Chains A and B, each alone.
Chain A
Amino acid sequence: MALDADWTRRWIELVADRVAERKAELSHLDRDIGDGDHGENLDRGFTAVRSRLADLDADATPGAILKLVATTLISTVGGASGPLYGTAFLKASMAAGDAETLDDRLADVLAAARDGIVARGKAEVGDKTMVDAWTPAVDAAAAAPDAVAALAAAADAAEAGAAATEPLVARKGRASYLGERAMGHRDPGSESTALILRAAAEA
């Protein structure tokens, strides 16, 4: 399988499908330790992405597709997740460059996305944020023998990372206002990250 433009489109459309399906679940996680709108906000963003993707040139590269995702999320999601995911996709598109496929640079693309989130949000692993899913995923992808294996490993690691946020006290984002009351709840941003990376593995 080549991680080409067709794959990139399938990935993003699968993310849009999954976000729509799991909108209520994501918002429920957010209700517990935030303000209960994470699913709603991402669904608004990826619905807009889906419609703009249909208008994009048929010969757009993976990098151009990722850039469209970035600018659409930045201008439609709002909140913290809009700038954070927007920056992630923007940095990913820059790492993708003009390449026809991402097969030889997938680990770099994922690392660039993660680095963008860290630079914007200034969170570290263990702060109970989406970085707790991204960083293990980037590490797992870097250790995998090829791009297809890297996608599966990244999805598994992101899901494990999201689950591992449950016992943590949050040190960034809105859940940090809750102190120890955030313990026992999964971070919604880490869960949506796992969703995005699982969709990449299944696209």
Chain B
Amino acid sequence: MKKLINDPSKVVDEAVAGIAAAHPELRVIVDPPYVIARGDAPVQGKVGLVSGGGSGHEPLHGGFVGHGMLDAAVPGAVFTSPTPDPIVAATKAVDGGAGVLHIVKNYTGDVLNFETAADLALAEGIEVESVIIDDDVAVQDSLYTAGRRGVAGTLLVEKIAGAAAERGDALAEVAEIARTVNANVRSMGMALAPCTVPHAGEPSFDLGPDEIEIGIGIHGEPGRARIAMEPADAIVDRLLAPILDDLPFASGDRVLLFVNGMGGTPLVELYVVFRRAAEVLASHGIQVARTLVGSYVTSLDMQGCSISVLRLDDALTELWDAPVQTPALRWGR
């Protein structure tokens, strides 16, 4: 295993210290358990947004802390949900009197720890709402699974709900907008090669030289199906078909198309993917009104990509376009 690390057990400690050093505009608690908060938190009268989850998905979530997006992020150990204590600490740190929204990816550990934290914060008199993100169409949503996972669509929820909070919407309204984004976004991912968790020191699953995994999550878990390698266009078609069928998206829809790298895939390949995805959407009469391309919701060094499609209306578009100033996403300010 060749990685830019000193000690596998100190990767998160040293990365959080690096975030603090690189982004003095943020307020980072650099002793475990960690909290990455806006420098101006709590913003009086504004709904606070808190998200978090295992580390290894950077820039999610710490890279999205700042004006117009998250008020705080809580990084856990690599691929492991944070415990309730720092989530409560973050919730208190960003409560400006208007309540706090927890944005939680639908993984069992994240849901259990955020639930406990929300109960504890409520007990201390802070109004908390929670929104569970489950945009991944690779997982059957039924009583017989833990439900769909929250993947790259989480970024879109954080940006759009963050803009709503920044303009002064009340907690119930911000939560409703977050749920609307979640209800209108669908994602699916694939891996060309697995990732290697630092303390494990070996790939998270085995993949032959000519095999790919379709329907992966973002924690190094294998996907729904393993198939032989195909050209990029065929892979894009394979990812987009279940996305479009699921909502379903229809001719005349205006959408945001987000092609996300998993961490180990060059941008040039993501643009190859984007080109095909835009072609397919156009052939369905779906208008790509907004775009995002890059590695934003990653899975360490996994090679591969995910595609997310969000159906937009004027209200969501306006919130997407609103100014944002965070380490990883910034425009208009």
Contact = CB atoms under 8 A, between A and B. Distances in A.
Query: Does B bind A?
Result: yes
A79 B145 contact: no
A174 B84 contact: no
B146 interface: yes
A124 to B, nearest CB: 11
B83 A74 contact: yes
B81 interface: yes
B80 A37 contact: yes
Contact of B204 (A36, A80, A181): A36
Interface in A149-187: 170-174, 176-179, 181
A184 to B, nearest CB: 13
A83 interface: yes
A74 B116 contact: yes
Nearest to B84: A74
Contacts of A83: 84, 109, 112-113, 116
Interface of A is mostly: helix
The list of the 9 closest CB pairs from A to B, nearest first, reads A79-B109, A176-B145, A80-B109, A83-B112, A80-B108, A35-B219, A79-B80, A78-B80, A171-B144
A93 B107 CA distance: 28
A35 B221 contact: yes
Given A75-B84, A79-B80, A31 B112 contact: no
A75 B83 contact: yes
A75 B107 CA distance: 18
Contacts, number: 106
Interface of A: 27, 31, 34-37, 40-41, 44, 74-84, 120-121, 170-174, 176-179, 181
28 contacts: A27-B200, A31-B202, A36-B197, A36-B220, A37-B78, A37-B197, A40-B77, A75-B84, A75-B85, A78-B54, A78-B77, A78-B109, A80-B81, A82-B113, A83-B84, A83-B109, A83-B112, A170-B145, A173-B146, A174-B107, A174-B219, A176-B139, A176-B144, A177-B138, A177-B146, A179-B140, A179-B224, A181-B224
B87 to A, nearest CB: 10
Contacts of A79: 54, 76, 80-81, 109, 113
Contacts of A171: 143-145
A80 B205 CA distance: 20
Contacts of A27: 200
